[in-house]
Structure 1
Amino acid sequence: MKFFTKKRIVLFLLFIFPLMCFLLLSTGINNAAKLPIYGENTLDISIVDSTKTLKNKVSLICFLGGDIANNKGGVFNLNQNIYKKFIEHNDFQIIAIYPKGTDKEVLSFKKELGAFTDMAKWKFTAGSRENINTFFDSFKTNTSLDNFYTSDAFIVDKNGYLRERTDDEEKKERKLVGYDMNSVAELKKIMKDDINVLYYEYYAAFKNKNKADRKEVGL
């Protein structure tokens, strides 16, 4: 058939087919991809440090502990595989919590991290041991802090709600609330995807609001 010329086939493969794939994927994400809320009773970080807040920010929370020299490997992973991927988002931040009295060790670590990183959206936060425990307990996870440290990092949305990953593989439900900073694979393949899903939620909500506003004014 003359319709299927070599030139038309090439044009289809180069332009039309990729566009169709994009539209299909976009539709799928819009209809299905949402990151479930795990808990709505998470306390604000202001309980630890009154100068900081989770409101109107996509926040990653990590707990550095009282012995950062032995715990910093996972934080470097988080910096390399997550922080550097989302630093361009104005509403993104990582809050790294540590107990008061370890400021000297944390300052040394910040200098080490800052040697190859723009630290603008790293928020190192010192708190009393009591307030750190109270803040972490509000997450209501099945894990606990060990010397104010956990290898898990947590995603908190702009409303201060803790988010989770729910997978349904082979009809077995797996819930993931904290993301293991010591696992590069978990950060790159799971946490990164989940943050993208959360940002898509905000993008979709903004787009739908614009549509509603335009409809209301008759545009």
Structure 2
Amino acid sequence: MKKFFVIFVLFALPLGAYLFFASGVNNFARLPVLTQQIYQLESFRSLEGGEEEVSFDNKITILGFPGVEPIDYMNNAYHLAEKIYDPYAGFNDFQFVSVVPEGSEAEVEELKQKISKVIDLKKWKFVTGSSEEINALFDSLNTNLELNNDLSSPNVFIIDKDGKLRGRDKDDDGNELFGYDTGSIYVLNNKMTDDVKVILAEYRLELKKYNKENTEDQ
């Protein structure tokens, strides 16, 4: 009897644990899609110089709305830079896009100069548009959040490579989590970091599968 018990402990329990966690990975490998289609960026003008076009296509995008006075977004920008941008900017198809109203270009440059002291802004894009375009973009996210009168929001949003809004279909309070409050270190550390990891892992798995299938076909 003791021998069977020892065998059970040594082999059955680890196998059961493996199957449990393996099924968990399969069940939670994808970050839920909350909005299928959002307003695109083609009508917005890039502030990066040159003819660079900023797009959601084939990019995992962290979308933000600093508002009319982007310099007031400084603390939020530092939080994002430290907790999200810096750890994941090395991922090839990862980008930040901040949308600001026309006429805010000078403050954007001041904000960029300050942030660039702590991170490389190569993958942090700023685009400008009219108030109508910014409202149209925000409204198309179809969230339970509102854009402030100055066209700002403390929340940022995860947009996938197909231009779909990702988030949690059931957060701690039982409701959907559409955006991540950049004013909250708790939210960035305990929610957004995890969700960014999930969507990056999702695309890594898809890329591995694609490469494997191509290798097998050759």
Question: Which amino acid in structure 1 is aligned with residue 159 of structure 2?
Answer: V
Check the 8 A contact 1:48/1:135 in 2, yes or no: no
Deviations 1:136-167 (A, max 9, x none): 11111122211110000000000000001133
1:39 aligns to 2:35 (yes or no): yes
1:86 aligns to 2:93 (yes or no): no
Check the 8 A contact 1:47/1:135 in 2, yes or no: no
Question: Which amino acid in structure 1 is aligned with residue 163 of structure 2?
Answer: G
Deviation at 1:198, TM superposition (A): 0.7
Deviation at 1:67, TM superposition (A): 2.0
- The structure with the greater share of residues assigned to strand is 1
TM-score by length of 2: 0.81
1:163 aligns to 2:159 (yes or no): no
Query: Which runs of no fewer than 5 residues in structure 2 stay unpaired?
Result: 1-9, 47-52
Partner SS state of residue 124, structure 1: strand
Question: Which amino acid in structure 1 is aligned with residue 185 of structure 2?
Answer: V
Separation (CA, whole Å) in 2 of partners of 1:82 and 1:69: 19
Deviations 1:35-89 (A, max 9, x none): 1101112011223237210000000000010122323211211111000010111
Query: Which runs of no fewer than 5 residues in structure 1 stay unpaired?
Result: 1-11
Separation (CA, whole Å) in 1 of partners of 2:215 and 2:109: 50
Deviation at 1:213, TM superposition (A): 4.8
Check the 8 A contact 1:30/1:204 in 2, yes or no: no
What pairs up with 1:41-80 in 2 under 5 angstroms? 41-49=37-45, 51-80=53-82
Q: Which runs of 4+ in 1 moved over 6 A?
A: 20-24
Which stretch shows the higher mean deviation, 113-122 or 62-71? 62-71
Partner SS state of residue 95, structure 1: strand
Separation (CA, whole Å) in 2 of partners of 1:166 and 1:142: 13
Structure 1 99/168 Cα, relative in aligned 2: closer, same or farther at 3 Å?
A: closer
Identity fraction in percent: 32
TM-score by length of 1: 0.81
What pairs up with 1:194-205 in 2 under 5 angstroms? 194-205=195-206
Partner SS state of residue 166, structure 1: coil
2:141 is matched with which residue?
Answer: 139
Check the 8 A contact 1:168/1:174 in 2, yes or no: yes
Which stretch shows the higher mean deviation, 196-205 or 175-184? 196-205
Query: C-alpha root-mean-square deviation of aligned residues, in Å?
Result: 2.5
